[in-house]
A and B are shown apart, each in its own frame.
Chain A
């Protein structure tokens, strides 16, 4: 059966079932929103190590990350020395990058959003559209599971009609304490493209949080990117000037 047929059957199925499972959908929506709020918080400040692993080499970077709400983030690279002070600012859906050597901020054009971010398995889009999951997708609860004494919700997220999305479907595994265990991305033909998993879940910044995030393309076992949180703190508020071009050039001390 052709993929788009499967997709239309799925859609048709969803439409038919909709009246009876409006409650399920509402619940799923709540679970996703809860998980999103849980890992983003109102604002956060973190020190993260990014490890890019390839079959024949590996590279690690240290960075400070500030986030606010669903839309804003600022990333500042500390190490290696060669890349120090490079930075990325995201405001809403716009992204800028700053390089100290040329001392310029460059706004990323739409055509380059699919490119990888800093050579990792994360694309610029993964960063820029991080809140897309909340705004652009319809969530349905497709099953539950148990793991380590926790209930795990399996949620299937299909894009809303005409939403400007990158993925044809996402499948989320969310624990009952709002921890996202995995997020799998599918293309328009509903074939798996890549998968992000949370590992080493522990208390961080006063919440249960995966210390390590792993992003891996579906057909490549020996190449992946790890985000390892060394320090994470949730805040009530970060001022506007944290997420400005000026701050991108002169990052705050963490």
Chain B
């Protein structure tokens, strides 16, 4: 056995240039796969994370069916007991309440339909990035200003469409929870740019207290937004919350929705990207496999005479097959090892320094992806690509190795 390994090792280096090229092909495929997969996973995390942080949060508690039509009447009548429950769960980092309604917003010159969102400025800042993306003016305060005007935050595109700047008045006209006319004048305190076009175009934030007064909410809210410490904890947190909320008697019943349910488009965008990525990887692996198959096949054909001699001396074809398999396994393993190492180093470098993608596609921008993406090495992203390369190359080596069994010593000897 040891002799076989030794022979295999020597055979590998009998034609060093060919061997090196094959190994490089394998290594290169591995580097690419490790890097690309880490990059993809990293960008998905960034995508989810930034979407979650800009608006939806990890989890939301809402009245059942509120999500379907955003009917202003489908409320959480009293958020206090729920907030107390949330306070007792240590895995929850922050939570805030919101209420929202469709209204006409008009400036001095124009009128648009907007989603007016009532927020609690202080706890909102812990849940979302709203406080950090203000480009003009300042963040919201819960109190009205000295002229008794409540403040409002508007998205960059909405501000542009309504020709608004900081300090301008906006008239809101909509319908309250009781069906009455809801009207108010608020003053723009800040303009923000979230990078998510839909949000920047359609939303206006005002203090929750003002919202509840204007829209006759009687203390009710529509959403309780919850953020945990990490994305991976979300499923457990959701189950926990659901169980604890079960103890409350609420009409209508409340539901807990996770980011996946709140942003169905995001999951679709990710799986679409993943599928197109998978096709690319498959093609890459196939190309590598064929180049390896070619190398191995050449080697066997070239060594027909040699195999003939060995068989004439009494070597069984099974042993020869094992020998050839050992050679290809050795070559593949070295290639994969080098590839994984180089891939991890390369990815590790970018994991620290990030990759600038400021010129990237619309799709990403819609989900508020920042201009720098950090690939993320994980056990999965390191192993899945190389494992695929390993399996496929070993299968590719099987065919030439099995051809040896068909060799006849006399004919092989004559082959030069």
Q: Are B179 and A104 in contact (CB under 8 A)?
A: no
B111's partner among A52, A102, A109 (CB-CB below 8 A) is: A109
Q: Are A106 and B173 in contact (CB under 8 A)?
A: yes
Q: Are B179 and A106 in contact (CB under 8 A)?
A: no
Is A86 part of the binding interface, using a Cβ–Cβ cutoff of 8 Å?
yes
Residue of B nearest to A109 (CB): B111
Q: Are A83 and B185 in contact (CB under 8 A)?
A: no
A57's partner among B73, B112, B185 (CB-CB below 8 A) is: B73
Q: Are A99 and B111 in contact (CB under 8 A)?
A: no
Residue of A nearest to B178 (CB): A59
Is B388 part of the binding interface, using a Cβ–Cβ cutoff of 8 Å?
no
Q: Are A86 and B181 in contact (CB under 8 A)?
A: yes
| Chain B residue contacts of A52, Cβ below 8 A | 179
Is B100 part of the binding interface, using a Cβ–Cβ cutoff of 8 Å?
no
Residue of B nearest to A112 (CB): B113
- Encoded as 1 (CB less than 8 Å from any B CB) or 0, chain A from 222 to 243 comes to 0000000000000000000000
Q: With both chains docked as a complex, state the minimum distance between the C-beta of B372 and any C-beta of chain A, in angstroms.
A: 37
- Encoded as 1 (CB less than 8 Å from any B CB) or 0, chain A from 96 to 108 comes to 0101011010111
Interface of B is mostly: strand
| Chain B residue contacts of A82, Cβ below 8 A | 180-181
Interface residues contributed by chain A, number (CB under 8 Å) = 22
Q: Are A106 and B111 in contact (CB under 8 A)?
A: yes
B183's partner among A57, A59, A102 (CB-CB below 8 A) is: A102
| Chain B residue contacts of A107, Cβ below 8 A | 111
Is A118 part of the binding interface, using a Cβ–Cβ cutoff of 8 Å?
yes
Q: Within B94-126, which residues are at the interface with A (CB < 8 Å)?
A: 102, 104, 106, 110-113
Is B184 part of the binding interface, using a Cβ–Cβ cutoff of 8 Å?
yes
User: Could you tell me the distance between the alpha carbons of A108 and B106 in the complex, rounded to whole angstroms?
Assistant: 10
Is A1 part of the binding interface, using a Cβ–Cβ cutoff of 8 Å?
no
| Chain A residue contacts of B185, Cβ below 8 A | 102, 104
Q: Are A119 and B111 in contact (CB under 8 A)?
A: no
Q: With both chains docked as a complex, state the minimum distance between the C-beta of A125 and any C-beta of chain B, in angstroms.
A: 14
Q: Are A119 and B184 in contact (CB under 8 A)?
A: no
Is A111 part of the binding interface, using a Cβ–Cβ cutoff of 8 Å?
yes
Q: Are A99 and B181 in contact (CB under 8 A)?
A: yes
User: Could you tell me the distance between the alpha carbons of A109 and B110 in the complex, rounded to whole angstroms?
Assistant: 8
- Encoded as 1 (CB less than 8 Å from any B CB) or 0, chain A from 78 to 90 comes to 0010110010000
| Chain B residue contacts of A102, Cβ below 8 A | 171, 173, 183-185
Q: With both chains docked as a complex, state the minimum distance between the C-beta of B150 and any C-beta of chain A, in angstroms.
A: 13
A119's partner among B113, B171, B175, B183 (CB-CB below 8 A) is: B175
Residue of A nearest to B175 (CB): A119
| Chain B residue contacts of A111, Cβ below 8 A | 112-113
Is A115 part of the binding interface, using a Cβ–Cβ cutoff of 8 Å?
yes
Residue of A nearest to B184 (CB): A102
Q: Are B111 and A101 in contact (CB under 8 A)?
A: no
User: Could you tell me the distance between the alpha carbons of A200 and B104 in the complex, rounded to whole angstroms?
Assistant: 36
| Chain B residue contacts of A109, Cβ below 8 A | 110-112
Q: Are B181 and A83 in contact (CB under 8 A)?
A: yes
User: Could you tell me the distance between the alpha carbons of A108 and B113 in the complex, rounded to whole angstroms?
Assistant: 10
Kindly name the residue among A56, A59, A99, A118 whose own CB sees the greatest number of chain B CB atoms within 10 A.
Answer: A99
| Chain A residue contacts of B111, Cβ below 8 A | 106-109, 112
| Chain B residue contacts of A108, Cβ below 8 A | 104, 111
User: Could you tell me the distance between the alpha carbons of A57 and B176 in the complex, rounded to whole angstroms?
Assistant: 14
Q: With both chains docked as a complex, state the minimum distance between the C-beta of B226 and any C-beta of chain A, in angstroms.
A: 28
User: Could you tell me the distance between the alpha carbons of A244 and B183 in the complex, rounded to whole angstroms?
Assistant: 22
User: Could you tell me the distance between the alpha carbons of A97 and B179 in the complex, rounded to whole angstroms?
Assistant: 16
Q: Are B184 and A101 in contact (CB under 8 A)?
A: yes
User: Could you tell me the distance between the alpha carbons of A80 and B175 in the complex, rounded to whole angstroms?
Assistant: 14
Q: Are A119 and B179 in contact (CB under 8 A)?
A: yes
- Encoded as 1 (CB less than 8 Å from any A CB) or 0, chain B from 68 to 97 comes to 000001000000000000000000000000
Q: Within A42-100, which residues are at the interface with B (CB < 8 Å)?
A: 52, 56-57, 59, 80, 82-83, 86, 97, 99
Residue of A nearest to B185 (CB): A102
Q: Are B110 and A106 in contact (CB under 8 A)?
A: no
| Chain B residue contacts of A97, Cβ below 8 A | 173
User: Could you tell me the distance between the alpha carbons of A82 and B179 in the complex, rounded to whole angstroms?
Assistant: 10
User: Could you tell me the distance between the alpha carbons of A43 and B91 in the complex, rounded to whole angstroms?
Assistant: 68
User: Could you tell me the distance between the alpha carbons of A246 and B149 in the complex, rounded to whole angstroms?
Assistant: 26
Q: With both chains docked as a complex, state the minimum distance between the C-beta of A146 and any C-beta of chain B, in angstroms.
A: 40
Residue of A nearest to B105 (CB): A106
Q: Are B180 and A106 in contact (CB under 8 A)?
A: no
User: Could you tell me the distance between the alpha carbons of A166 and B98 in the complex, rounded to whole angstroms?
Assistant: 35
| Chain B residue contacts of A106, Cβ below 8 A | 104, 106, 111, 171, 173
| Chain A residue contacts of B173, Cβ below 8 A | 97, 99, 102, 106
Q: With both chains docked as a complex, state the minimum distance between the C-beta of B385 and any C-beta of chain A, in angstroms.
A: 47
Q: Are B180 and A99 in contact (CB under 8 A)?
A: no
Kindly name the residue among B106, B183, B185 whose own CB sees the greatest number of chain A CB atoms within 10 A.
Answer: B183
Q: With both chains docked as a complex, state the minimum distance between the C-beta of B241 and any C-beta of chain A, in angstroms.
A: 26
Q: Within A116-150, which residues are at the interface with B (CB < 8 Å)?
A: 118-119
User: Could you tell me the distance between the alpha carbons of A5 and B184 in the complex, rounded to whole angstroms?
Assistant: 49
| Chain B residue contacts of A57, Cβ below 8 A | 73, 179
18 contacts between A and B (CB under 8 A): A56-B73, A57-B73, A80-B180, A82-B180, A97-B173, A99-B183, A102-B171, A102-B173, A102-B184, A104-B185, A106-B171, A106-B173, A109-B111, A111-B113, A112-B113, A115-B113, A118-B175, A118-B181
Residues of A within 8 A of B (CB): 52, 56-57, 59, 80, 82-83, 86, 97, 99, 101-102, 104, 106-109, 111-112, 115, 118-119
Would you list the 7 A-B pairs with minimal beta carbon distance, nearest first? A99-B183, A59-B179, A82-B180, A101-B183, A109-B111, A102-B183, A119-B175
Given contacts A52-B179, A102-B171, A111-B112, 16 further A-B contacts (CB under 8 A): A57-B73, A82-B181, A83-B180, A97-B173, A99-B173, A101-B184, A102-B183, A104-B106, A106-B104, A106-B106, A106-B111, A108-B104, A108-B111, A109-B111, A112-B111, A119-B175
